[in-house]
Chains A and B, each alone.
Chain A
Amino acid sequence: MQIISVENMVKRFGSITAVDGITFGVDENSIFGFLGPNGAGKTTTISILCTLLDPTSGKAFLNGHDCSAESAAVRKSIGIVFQDSSLDKDLTARENLMFHARLYNVATPERKQRVDEALVFAGLQDRADDLVKKFSGGMKRRLEVARGLIHKPKVLFLDEPTLGLDPQSRSSLWEFIIELPKKHDVTIFMTTHYMEEAEVCDHIAIIDKGKIIASGTPGSLKKLIGGDVIYLKTSDNRKAAETLQKLFGLSATEKDGEIFISTPRGDSCIPALIREIGDIVLSVRLQRPTLNDVFLKLTGKEIRAENGSVENDVKETVRSYRRRHDRG
């Protein structure tokens, strides 16, 4: 079943078209990744699905409810971790969770138990009564994810969940996130502009300038740009290239003193290759296509390339200030 379905959705802010006619669906209990550079329209899409904005045209449904006409029903079915933390940093972890449980009308006898479970789940049971402003970035995100799950939502939105975290916290947050659908019976809708992070998703939609330019599983998207690339350093590039052509029918290209070949299954190709020309090979390097390559191929630009408006710049400045400030 499709827990989210979006049809031809457009959102304009004055003359800016933030979302430009997107259509997609998300399967129940899957991890759906919404990928795109800054300003692509990811947060705007989430805001519409979360009932904070109405679309200019088009429709969005979540758990069978219309996101703009039935906002109350939609809100009961969702949990959200916003791009910018919406924790109250002057309250303790437990207070943040207790207030959330009350806002979502979790009955009194159950409230304390669910909050305790959430604290354990976030690994914060020892810090439950510390003010959130003393937490690290990773702890805050885990707390926010745990908070978003307290009322047992059908869909959990994560908007750039790893933004501003160091690499180690990022990877531990990912381990935490990929467990969620099974443990909590919840669908994950996440956005990121780190292409490599989207590898864990079951399904991905790539968005650029408000339009979905590709979608599919990470594997199927990577097939779009052909197979793996094998780079070889040899003592005799010409001879190696000839042998590769003769034995495997692969045409090698020389570049920067290396030769490289493209092949759909690079890993299984390497043993045969070593057997045949092992005597002249100095080094072998296998490069798998990444989603970054997919984005580069589809748009001709790097995903990190940013071109924001002045207002975006202001928001970005405030955000990065807050990130630094919050960590201290």
Chain B
Amino acid sequence: MIEANAVYVIVAREFKKFIRERTRLVSAIARPLVWLFLIGGGMSRIVPIAGGVSYMQFIFPGILGMTILFSSIFSSISIIWDKEFGFMKEILVAPISRFSIVVGKATSGMVLSTIQAAIILAFFPLLGLKIGFAEVAGILLISAALSFAISSLGIVLASFYDSYESFSVIMNFIVMPMFFLSGAMYPVKLMPTILRFFTRINPLTYGIDAIKHLSLPPGAGPMGADFPFLLDVAVIIAATVIFVAIGGKAFERKG
């Protein structure tokens, strides 16, 4: 059972705080831009253009994926801290179902991440990319779905790790590998077999791949998308369903 009032409170609270905390927004936006222009810009001088796509253009979908990954995981991981010392306790003792809390948290991760992805997306003309209106809408939809899935993954992590030290474990052993093994910085089809295996089981890969379909010109060859678009969408949806279900179950646990 999903209570609309609970989802509303959880989302409205985070949205209000997000709007208020300008510095957080600025730093959340700065990181992907630094990656895009410093690393992407620098590498573009070394990596030759292939299929009409420069390296900076190539990593643009990956940078959108990075924005979504970090913002969604951060949004959910705050549960760990909140559960012990903050507002999460107020929510946990309220007469609402655990499932509503999970859906509310995932929805607020989705709203905040999609806003940030939209801001980064607005930079595409600077990169010389030509993205049509329908594709922009498509990218935003994919971003929303992907951030819902990754926020749900964050909730699962937050419910299994519940001490303060776990934060760096999650960052170093889950978030960073997820980013590097996602086809964000390097085409999946050119990876060594063992890395390709990890990339294939990473849901972020498919989100980024779907954005590659929508933002890079067709016939980009090695720089282009690695999987069929429909497969990408199917994996994102499946991941969302699985993570929400596990998150809901994990949240039901009492000590």
Contacts and interface: CB of A to CB of B under 8 A. Distances in A.
Interface of A: 13, 47, 50-54, 72, 75-76, 78, 80, 82, 84-88, 90-91, 95, 99-100, 102-105, 314-315, 318-319, 322
A105 B4 CA distance: 10
B9 A102 contact: yes
Given A51-B93, A102-B5, A90 B86 contact: no
Interface stretch (B14-22, B55-63, B140-148): B14-22
Interface string B152-184: 000000000000100000000000000000000
The 5 A-B residue pairs whose C-beta atoms are closest, nearest first, are: A75-B95, A103-B94, A86-B90, A86-B89, A88-B87
B9 A103 contact: yes
Contact of B8 (A82, A88, A102, A315): A102
B240 to A, nearest CB: 25
Nearest to A311: B163
B12 interface: yes
Given A100-B90, A103-B5, A95 B95 contact: no
Given A102-B5, A103-B5, A322-B85, A78 B16 contact: no
B141 to A, nearest CB: 29
5 contacts: A80-B89, A86-B89, A99-B13, A102-B9, A318-B164
Contact of B91 (A51, A53, A103, A315): A103
A135 to B, nearest CB: 15
B225 interface: no
Contact of B87 (A54, A80, A87): A87
A104 B91 CA distance: 10
A88 B86 contact: yes
Q: Interface residues of B toward A: which range?
A: 20 to 34
Residue among B8, B9, B87, B93 with the highest chain A CB neighbour number at 10 A: B93
Given A54-B254, A99-B13, A80 B94 contact: no
Contacts of B195: none
Given A82-B89, A100-B90, 7 more contacts: A78-B93, A84-B85, A86-B90, A87-B90, A88-B86, A102-B5, A104-B95
Nearest to B91: A103
Contacts of B21: 90
A86 B13 contact: no
A104 B86 contact: no
B125 interface: no
B20 A53 contact: no
Residue among B6, B16, B20, B21 with the highest chain A CB neighbour number at 10 A: B16
B93 A75 contact: yes
Given A84-B84, A91-B13, A103-B9, A53 B255 contact: yes
A50 B89 CA distance: 11
B90 A91 contact: no
B17 A90 contact: yes
Interface in B80-129: 84-96
A263 to B, nearest CB: 48
Contacts of A90: 17, 20-21
Contact of A76 (B16, B90, B95): B95
Contacts of B90: 86-87, 100, 103
Contacts of B6: 103
Interface in B1-47: 5-6, 8-9, 12-13, 16-17, 20-21
B94 to A, nearest CB: 4
B235 to A, nearest CB: 35
A256 B164 CA distance: 52
Contact of B13 (A54, A88, A105): A88
A261 to B, nearest CB: 51
B59 to A, nearest CB: 34
Contacts of B85: 84, 318-319, 322
A80 B93 contact: yes
A307 B186 CA distance: 54
B249 to A, nearest CB: 16
Contact of A75 (B84, B94, B164): B94
Contacts of B254: 51-54
A75 B164 CA distance: 28
Given A53-B254, A88-B86, A90-B20, A99 B12 contact: yes
A105 B5 contact: yes
B96 to A, nearest CB: 6
Residue among A84, A102, A104, A314 with the highest chain B CB neighbour number at 10 A: A102
A316 to B, nearest CB: 12
Nearest to B97: A72
Contacts of B87: 86-88
A146 to B, nearest CB: 14
B17 A86 contact: no
Given A76-B95, A91-B17, A103-B6, A86 B86 contact: yes
